[in-house]
Amino acid sequence: MVITSLENDRVKKYVKLKQKKYRDMYGEFIVEGYHLVVEAYKRGILKEMIIEENEAVPIEAHSVYVTYDIIKKISDVESPPKVMGLCSKVEYNDEVGSRILLLDGLQDPGNIGTIIRSAVAFNVDTVIFGRNTVDLYNPKVLRATQGMMFHINVIFDDLEEVIKKIKSLNIAVYGTKVTHGEDVRRIPVKDKKSYALVVGNEGNGVRDEISDMCDGNLYIRMNDKVESLNVSVATSILLYELGDMDE
Amino acid sequence: MVITSLENDRVKKYVKLKQKKYRDMYGEFIVEGYHLVVEAYKRGILKEMIIEENEAVPIEAHSVYVTYDIIKKISDVESPPKVMGLCSKVEYNDEVGSRILLLDGLQDPGNIGTIIRSAVAFNVDTVIFGRNTVDLYNPKVLRATQGMMFHINVIFDDLEEVIKKIKSLNIAVYGTKVTHGEDVRRIPVKDKKSYALVVGNEGNGVRDEISDMCDGNLYIRMNDKVESLNVSVATSILLYELGDMDE
């Protein structure tokens, strides 16, 4: 049976999940496209697949068939995929780990997704989303992660509280400044076994009250014609260096 | 005098410059916002400023005042700035330099702009746009460069031809592969004095015919859960390493 009505209750719920308040209320979110559906299945959080009529999907999961118009309505993109997944939010744990990335007020979903990919690539354990950072389950963030958010622990909390906890574990907390602090290339390997790195909003950087809590700042040496790098690039280079354990 | 009509010839030309064919025809392009107008002025290519009525801009240049509706029509963004600049295309030179980045078919303007910022940061001389790469003067690319395209040489050409020229200068040409080739961290300093790096399209990478011309491939060591990094991140890390001249 194919659902054809945009007024169908199930369809109305899928559409609501574009908004954070409903994702929080239901504890569910939508992923788009075959790749993310497979990743969600492997992670054990795929509840049902939403499939465009006549499309065959070789995954064993409850399937709901809908028209193209409905897919289009649920999707966040211009050219929607033929398969989507309704997922339960990932059950992340509370442990901060020992290689930690904190996001303070990032607003661009593409940047956040890209940063999560890089975090997994360079062996970060845990990404902490500050309250002022865009939602992980935002469709644009999910798309940019390419499913990597299933391979890392994520915590949503007040950064002040988390930083206190991290410091109580004797893990150094680094802020980021464009020119001040320590050249990340000079951090000795022994200091890379555990660390926490805070990165800030695209325009304003890390908030002062957070910056004040850091043990030091890291920077990337570069040509002085450039005021700053793109935040996802800068974060990725810092994580790349902090992930290098060669003597 | 304030231009108020969208039918004004000057206004019609500004709007046309959103399209590459007209930018190529006139040899001109539009930059948006105070920061880019200042950078264009410093580079000596600012022909006139397009200013929203009643706005004061402390730059000595021919000024054309227009209404908000006209600014909105010319602009590429939802919330347009109060000042824009009409510019002559930059007079780049033909010399390929000795630290060279080649772009093979990149399509995302944000990625290209971000990569140009990183190229300047890590002392690349010249960026080569292959014929199949999005135009440098695309408003979204310009915005993402943050004006850094005024601080680097740019060449638009067939990559095959340019690579032949680079090889005739005895400069090593590196392609990029996710896992094959040489770990970029292991490139000795003596090999970083001159190099050419080719990076490819977001989905498809470097074309085979270009890849076949390369002397070798570079990769970034990372966790094997990750298939690939975002292309602007990967390129920036490679340039960061190739720009490091410390022994």
The predicted-structure confidence for A106-120, as pLDDT tens digits, reads as follows 999 999 999 999 999
Q: According to the model, what pLDDT value does residue A247 have? A: 66
Residue of A nearest to B178 (CA): A121
∠ CA B153-B157-B163, rounded to 5°: 90
Distance CA A109, CA B75 (A): 23
What letter does residue A43 receive in the DSSP assignment?
T
Distance CA B139, CA B146 (A): 11
Residue B198 CB contacts under 8 Å (≥ 6 apart), including other chains = B102, B104, B159, B163, B173, B174, B175, B176, B206, B210, B211, B214
**What is the residue extent of each domain of chain A?**
2-88, 99-242
Which of A120, A185, A229 shows the shortest C-beta gap to B118? A229
Distance CA A233, CA B89 (A): 28
| A150 in B contact zone (CB under 8 Å) | no
Rounded to the nearest 10 degrees, the angle between the axes of helix A231-242 and helix B109-121 is: 60
What letter does residue B136 receive in the DSSP assignment?
T
Q: How many contiguous H segments (helices) and E segments (strands) does chain B have?
A: 9, 12
Q: Are B49 and B59 in contact (CB under 8 A)?
A: yes
Q: According to the model, what pLDDT value does residue B179 have? A: 67
Distance CA B109, CA B134 (A): 7
ipTM value for the complex: 0.92
Element (H, E) at B28: strand B28-32
Instruction: Take residue A17 and report the two structure tokens written for it.
Output: 């999940």
What are residue B156's DSSP bridge partners? B129
Amino acid at A125: D
Residue of B nearest to A111 (CA): B230
Instruction: Take residue B232 and report the two structure tokens written for it.
Output: 């602007």
Residue of A nearest to B222 (CA): A121
Distance CA A205, CA B155 (A): 34
What letter does residue A90 receive in the DSSP assignment?
P
Instruction: Take residue B85 and report the two structure tokens written for it.
Output: 């600049």
Please name the fold of domain B2-88: 60s Ribosomal Protein L30; Chain: A; (3.30.1330)
Q: Give every residue of chain B whose pLDDT is below 70, as ranges.
A: 178-179, 247
The mean pLDDT value of chain B amounts to: 94
How far CA B18 is from CA of A126, A200, B38, B102, B160, in Å, comes to 43, 33, 20, 25, 29
Instruction: Take residue A247 and report the two structure tokens written for it.
Output: 């003597």
Q: According to the model, what pLDDT value does residue A179 have? A: 67
**Chain B: closest CA distance from residue A80 (Å):** 17
Backbone angles phi, psi at B176, to 5 degrees: -130, 130
Contacts of A232 in chain B (CB under 8 A): 114, 230, 232-233
Q: Are A50 and A87 in contact (CB under 8 A)?
A: no
Q: Which of B221, B225, B238 to mutate to test the interface with A (most CBs of A within 10 A)?
A: B225
Residue A186 CB contacts under 8 Å (≥ 6 apart), including other chains = none
Cα first-last separation, chain B: 61
Which SS3 state, helix, strand or coil, does residue A222 take? coil
Amino acid at A225: K
| A185 in B contact zone (CB under 8 Å) | yes
**Chain B: closest CA distance from residue A178 (Å):** 12
Contacts of B185 in chain A (CB under 8 A): 244, 246
Distance CA A48, CA A46 (A): 6
Cα first-last separation, chain A: 61
HSE of A142, CA atoms in CB hemisphere, 13 A: 24
What are residue B82's DSSP bridge partners? none
Element (H, E) at B176: strand B173-176
CB contact under 8 A, B185 and A244: yes
Quickly list DSSP for A170-212: T--EEEE-SSSSEEGGG--GGGGSSEEEEEEBTTTBS-HHHHT
pLDDT tens track of chain A, all 247 residues?
899 999 999 999 999 999 999 999 999 999 999 999 999 999 999 999 999 998 988 899 999 999 999 999 999 999 999 999 999 999 999 999 999 999 999 999 999 999 999 999 999 999 999 999 999 999 999 999 999 999 999 999 999 999 999 999 999 999 987 667 899 999 999 999 999 999 999 888 999 999 999 999 999 999 999 988 999 999 999 999 999 887 6
Q: According to the model, what pLDDT value does residue B244 have? A: 87
Which of B151, B240, B243 shows the shortest C-beta gap to A225? B151
Q: Give one word for B221, left, alpha or beta, with left for phi > 0 and alpha for psi -120 to 50.
A: beta
Contacts of B146 in chain A (CB under 8 A): 227
Residue found under tokens 């000595």: B60
Q: Residue A27 burial by CB count (10 A; 0-12/13-18/19+): exposed, middle or buried?
A: exposed
What are residue A174's DSSP bridge partners? A197, A216
- CB contacts under 8 A, B 26-65 vs A, are none
Q: According to the model, what pLDDT value does residue A219 have? A: 93
Please name the fold of domain A99-242: Alpha/beta knot (3.40.1280)
| A236 in B contact zone (CB under 8 Å) | yes
